Structure 1
């Protein structure tokens, strides 16, 4: 059983890392006040208007409500039922957005304000924060890092001496956890959280590197276990506690952490724990982040080209009917998965210039290994896109690959399936 759990986890975590940053974390800045992410979205007042159109170098930001947060998702058409069964808590937002105002022209949704774990989908925010640091002259794409036990996370990891540009590619294309943690710490924990805070996304938490949330969930972080109000913290208090949790994470070897995860998921797993420790968002807030990320990121032309090149390697384009109908001019996306959870988000521009964003979230699935749910997730995303844009008609139905659909990963997945069939 435990061997199976270990192998399954290796598949679940979407790549990972063993890298250690050379103790050069950027100085974190104090965040603006924001409401903490909760397990369920709190009611929020609707704003009466949007901000004026931003300049080319200034991110567009919707006017916050009276509580300082982005208003709840607007009332839109209910999303169609999933064409194929999906278990657990689900959330979906799919919209065509106006490239000038960044408001939805047409959208469909299901549970758009529910709060879900992000898993590796959060890594696109690390890239955006990295590129802001690049534009500010605080990070060079040629800065290099080595792997150390302190920064080693789960899964595969980059070579010693990998530079920032290479790490950013691995973080998105291969969902490498160590590459992510190296960059996240180098940027600074709060500067990644600022991606959400500047957009008033009060239910979006981006502050913890990957290794930190696993250490917290397994009880290996004294800072977390002795301070159960983590979920209600914000501002400087949250930053200070996040630093303490991350310091605890860097004291753990990856193999020790893996053994504790095996035991936790085998005997003590509670889905509520995911909402306490993971980075979080809602379908609507994540889609808002993605909209700004691609349409008004506030980056220099060089940084924006870097962003689009890297994000174009994220998973999703081959799974969209619009791609197989020859209707996608540009695509950028990111997915994430974990124990009983799966997330996908993306942005694409059609050949006739329409801009579409989507965010799918699943938590508490019946399946522990959720990657095969990718096909079901995109069947629902595609049905929603058809509602928003009109039916996309590929010449033949797309054969949707899995993000890890390589010979090595297929062999691992076959081993997992065989082991699961032998379970009592």
Structure 2
């Protein structure tokens, strides 16, 4: 795919924190040697220190969009308009959210979207909270039935826009503490994508995340907690090529090391993966 090779040839680096330029250079080197198109962004939620590679480039969100659906529903719960005990398509809303976030269940996602009033309602919630860089145009079933075009701008986000959503979830005004804890617990229990951002992080590292997969697309977004308690919001999107999960895993480890100050010129190693679901 010539268009993809042209994009990958010179990955764009956004302005990042000066003390993290080394890790950003390493990330740029990593993606420049891979056959796909990658977007990476990370920010320390306490200090604002950040890095990004192709941070403004749009990528299909796939199932990472489910974080926005959960946020919109929980916002309604906080406002007293809905409840986690409401029955939606034969299950409680809480059961549907759990299936959506921990197992990436598409039917549960579409049941919640319909209950909210459709994709446009979720988009309105995003826009109201200043997240116009994220587009939600279709239900999951509609997306899966559509012809595949990895450059389609519908249902897309840039890595930096996804970071804005993650920061809003983490400490913005849109969720009450109870709903925030509930959402983060669901993200911590995510069982998909064990071969992505979690794969090469030290054992026991707390990761709260949501994966996304379409044919030719792999994503993983969420939070990484550092040993000293600092939390990073991270977004990884990859399309094309054949080594997307392994590249995300290595990029996540580079970010972990860079933000912890333990980067020591580590060379990217051959990755064997840990298996797991690919949703």
Matched residue of 1:319: which SS?
coil
**Does residue 187 of the first structure (1) align with residue 126 of the second (2)?**
no
Task: Say if 2:88 is the partner of 1:164.
Answer: no
Deviation for aligned residue 1:288: 1.7
Task: Return closer, same or farther for 1:201/1:141 CA change in 2, 3 Å cut-off.
Answer: closer
Mapping 1:2-401, distance limit 5 Å: 74-76=15-17, 77=21, 78-80=24-26, 81-82=29-30, 86-98=34-46, 104-105=48-49, 107-146=50-89, 161-188=90-117, 189-215=119-145, 217-218=146-147, 270-272=149-151, 275-277=152-154, 279-314=155-190, 315=192, 319=198, 321-324=200-203, 326=204, 328=205, 330-363=206-239, 365-367=240-242, 373-391=244-262, 400-401=273-274
For 1:399 and 1:295, the matched residues in 2 are separated by 36
Between the aligned partners of 1:398 and 1:297, the Cα distance in structure 2 is 40
Gap change, CA 1:297 and 1:270, over 3 Å in 2: same
Do the aligned residues in 2 keep the contact of 1:346 with 1:358 (CA within 8 Å)? yes
**CA distance 1:84–1:276, shift in 2 (3 Å):** closer
Alpha-carbon separation, structure 2, partners of 1:135 and 1:172: 19
Decide whether the 8 Å contact of 1:108 with 1:388 is kept in 2: no
Once the two structures are TM-superposed, the CA of residue 313 in structure 1 deviates from its matched residue by: 1.4
Whole-angstrom distance in 1 between the partners of 2:75 and 2:37: 34
**TM-fit CA distance, 1:398:** 9.8
Query: What is the CA distance between 1:384 and its match in structure 2?
Result: 2.3
1:89-113 Cα deviation digits (max 9, x unpaired): 2111122222xxxx622x2221111
Instruction: From the superposition, tell whether residues 137 and 389 of structure 1 become closer, same or farther in structure 2 (CA, over 3 Å).
Output: same
Secondary structure at 1:353 match in 2: coil
Which of 1 and 2 has greater Rg? 1
Question: Please, which runs of 5 or more residues in structure 2 have no aligned partner?
Answer: 1-6, 8-13, 265-269
What is the DSSP-based 3-state SS (H/G/I as helix, E as strand, rest coil) of the residue aligned with 2:207?
strand
Distance 1:145 1:201, change over 3 A: closer
Q: Select the residue among 374, 379, 402 that pairs with 2:275.
A: 402
The total of aligned residue pairs comes to 252
Separation of aligned partners in 2, 1:398 and 1:131: 38
Q: CA RMSD in A?
A: 3.1
Partner of 1:336, secondary structure, is strand
Going from structure 1 to structure 2, the CA distance change for 1:309 and 1:352 (only over 3 Å counts) comes to: same
Distance 1:175 1:389, change over 3 A: same
